[in-house]
Amino acid sequence: MFKIVHKRELNANVTLMEIEAPFVARKAKAGQFIIFRIDEKGERVPLTIAGYDREKGTVTIIFQKVGFATIALGALNEGDYIQDFVGPLGKPTDVEGKKKVCVVGGGVGCAIALPSAKAFKEAGAEVTVIVGFRSKDIVILEDEFKACADNLILMTDDGSYGRHGLVTQPLQELLEAGEEFDEVLAIGPVPMMKFVCKTTQPFGTHTMVSLNPIMVDGTGMCGGCRVTVGGETKFACVDGPEFDGHQVDFAELMNRNSLYRTREAEVTHNHACRIDAMGKQLIK
């Protein structure tokens, strides 16, 4: 069992939790992920590691409450326990030899972008960070990005905070102005990552994306997380989660990610909480 030692609501739909998991914290690196289960009957859900503290033996996760499992996790509090917390899984972000990088994050993907931006900075790179949100009320981790970025550009779709527009706009401007990045790392919704790649491709800028396809076991055995990269089948859990974005088949990825959306919505909508039902019986 793994204890929740800290919980913070970053906005109405996004929660930060610090989990006591010393063996995971000991090996964790930026770009890797964990798989959690709330209880022995729960589904296995992958979440990218948002931070870790080797001395405290804790791992930080940040998640959006969008499906049954993440809503249930978000209902837990400090002092509660979850059944499983497995990791670190996947390959870490490759920060070696990069002198100038641009990290692009979108929405809750910014939680994943932050540790990678920190890792690049700690490795001696000059780091530009571009983050985008729909509106001011869902902006997260701004102070944390300011602490690790040499240049931070914050965008909102509606213009309610920072610059008005999409993350691809300032990226395009920087590239057209002659900025030469050793790498652009994009993390966020699949359409956002796709268009970041379309933006960088004419400039020949090496671009990596962090993929989060449907995943079951996280060890490469089930094949559920397969993606096509450069015409070859790869498994995000063991070959990734970061891949060369110019080689990713985004159309296939988006199609596979939508396969169970209707079923998950049904499960979330129809779920009846047995604890609530027991409470009503006791009241009667």
- Residues 108, 235 within the same domain: yes
Distance of CA 192 to the CA centre of its chain: 13
Q: Which domain holds residue 107?
A: 100-257
- C-alpha span between 47 and 64 (Å, rounded): 10
What percent of the chain lies above the pLDDT cut of 70? 90
Least reliable range by pLDDT among 44-48, 134-138, 229-233, 263-267: 263-267
Which CATH number goes with the domain that contains 51? 2.40.30.10
Question: What's the domain count of the chain?
Answer: 2
The per-residue pLDDT for 255 is: 86
The per-residue pLDDT for 237 is: 86
By C-alpha distance, which of 24, 35, 118, 114 is closest to 73? 35
- C-alpha span between 284 and 279 (Å, rounded): 9
- Residues 78 and 5: beta-carbon distance below 8 Å: yes
Is residue 265 in a domain? no
For residue 148, the one-letter residue type is: C
Q: Is 11 left (phi over 0), alpha (psi -120 to 50) or beta?
A: beta
Query: In the predicted model, is pLDDT for residue 28 greater than 70?
Result: yes
- Residues 171, 232 within the same domain: yes
Is residue 281 in a domain? no
Angle, helices 190-200/168-176, rounded to nearest 10 degrees:
10
The per-residue pLDDT for 268 is: 52
Tokens at residue 159, please? 């213009």
Count of Cβ atoms closer than 10 Å to residue 227 Cβ: 22
- C-alpha span between 57 and 51 (Å, rounded): 11
Mean pLDDT within 253-269: 64
- C-alpha span between 160 and 171 (Å, rounded): 20
CA atoms within 13 A on the CB side of 65: 15
- C-alpha span between 163 and 159 (Å, rounded): 6
Least reliable range by pLDDT among 148-157, 175-184, 194-203, 257-266: 257-266
The per-residue pLDDT for 150 is: 96
The per-residue pLDDT for 198 is: 97
Query: In the predicted model, is pLDDT for residue 270 greater than 80?
Result: no
- Tens of pLDDT along 66-111? 888 899 999 999 999 999 999 899 999 999 999 999 999 999 889 8
- Residues 162, 123 within the same domain: yes
- Residues 173, 237 within the same domain: yes
By C-alpha distance, which of 108, 91, 73 is closest to 190? 108
By C-alpha distance, which of 245, 115, 117 is closest to 190? 245
Which CATH number goes with the domain that contains 187? 3.40.50.80
- Residues 85, 156 within the same domain: no
Last residue of a domain, one of 63, 89, 115: 89
- C-alpha span between 273 and 102 (Å, rounded): 44
The per-residue pLDDT for 283 is: 46
- Residues 80, 217 within the same domain: no
Confidence of residue 262 (pLDDT cuts 50, 70, 90): low
Torsion from C-alpha of 77, 80, 84, 90, nearest 10 degrees: 40
Last residue of a domain, one of 89, 122, 149: 89
- Tens of pLDDT along 2-21? 999 999 999 888 999 999 99
Give 129's strand partners.
Answer: 103, 152
- C-alpha span between 49 and 175 (Å, rounded): 30
Give 45's strand partners.
Answer: 36
- Residues 117, 216 within the same domain: yes
- Tens of pLDDT along 208-238? 999 887 777 777 788 878 889 999 999 888 8
Is residue 138 in a domain? yes
- Residues 65, 177 within the same domain: no
Is residue 95 in a domain? no
- pTM reported for the whole predicted model: 0.84
